[in-house]
Structure 1
Amino acid sequence: MTALSVNLNKIAVLRNSRGGNEPDVLRAGITCLDAGAHGLTVHPRPDARHIRADDVAVLGALCRERGVEFNIEGNPFAPPRPGYPGLLALCDAERPAQVTLVPDGDGQLTSDHGFDFARDGDALRPLIAAFKALGCRVSVFVNVGDPDVARAAAVGADRVELYTGPFAEAFAAGDVDAARAAAQTACLAQAAGLGVNAGHDLSQGNLPHFLARVPNVLEVSIGHALIGEALYAGLDATVRAYRHIVDAAASP
């Protein structure tokens, strides 16, 4: 079965554009869980452009209360700064079920590439061990087509998250084989004992195709498209539509 985790960053973007507390990320999280989301994802960045450290605490408490997965994404190499205690400190405080490590920088509009394990592997290994010592499952962001994806297991990761931006772009352009590379990368990872998650630019339009062709995806994390679709259909209805897609993918 594929779990649906809703990324709430875009709710925080809207809130931060005006200040105050509207739209309320906690209310959005409650709505998503009430509609059937299996968990919530946040990606607090050091520049606090959307989800902030105080949001992490509030949503972490909600997920603990509901007994659902809380997934915190972030760059493990980013140093603390005022308002951002660092990814390890956030996870130490909240003890999320999963931490997803992503090699993004302040200047990036969004996460757009995975780790280079030849370059980053030695530095990742002790950090992954530190997150796992907190009881977190560790997933690392990887590029589809990365021939070294199995090295994620060697540095201690439990899962990889496939960066699906290129898949979504190819699918939108009409490529009927858009998911082939993702399927091949997933199989390489699974052969190394890694679980496979996926995320970035997944939508109601492309998710059924992706799940039908990429085997044994354990979790999809979806935010941008889901929140955009919710502007027209409503958040409750949109989350329920995504649940229908992931549930249908699990049916024989």
Structure 2
Amino acid sequence: MQKKSNRHAIQLFVFFVFILALPCQGKTEKAAAVQQDVVWSQSDGLRYEIFTSTQKDGEWTTPVKITDNNANNLHPVLEIGSDGIKWLFWSAVRPSGISVQYAMMQNNGWSEPQTLPIEQHSAITPAALADTKGRVWLVWAGNDGGNDDIYFSHYQEKAWSDPQLIHAPNKVPDIKPEITYNEEGKIEVNWIGFRSNAYKKLASVYTDNTGWSVEQEKVAPEEDVRNEEEQEPELPSFLPSDSQFFLKIY
């Protein structure tokens, strides 16, 4: 289950960043409830930093601060590789540009933040997926001063692949990517793209033999009727009400 709530001149891009930074927005990824991790962006009065906590035996651990830089750190997401390594990605917003940064948890400690090795003026709103072949996939919206496009890269054998477009080149905005396994067990990326004078939900599916499929418009699903017995996950009390958060249940 995924739950969502509340970016080619630079003025418009900053506006999109502001919208994406609105309070109380979050995403939940749910599986068999064994353990929970929450990552979030929180203001310290000067800028936004990334924090994380894990629930163990019903208790949340003391929050750990991941970032300490001169950036507004937003849009955190968490994924767990097939080897058990936790990957934390986020957008680092600076006056000079926007980059995707990440940290890994190994041996019970978080690594120093690193910047995704790409040459783009702006790379924002990352989404991640660990596949069954040991790869960690990352998608984001990126540009070099024009409209955003949707890019992907994957990490395997201690290296990131060169970033590539998922969709055909165009001159319109493509934003807000998400990546997951679809009902057929294939890797699928969904995003919002401007087509035929309107923003539409689009999708592309990946296979090892043919790469990414031609984009298809997604038909809006029927309204989700929540089971009365299904409850919203309980968030930690220390999570600020004005934070962006990502909760992973596994």
Q: Normalised by the size of structure 1, how large is the TM-score?
A: 0.31
Question: In proportion to residue count, which structure has more strand?
Answer: 2
Q: Normalised by the size of structure 2, how large is the TM-score?
A: 0.31
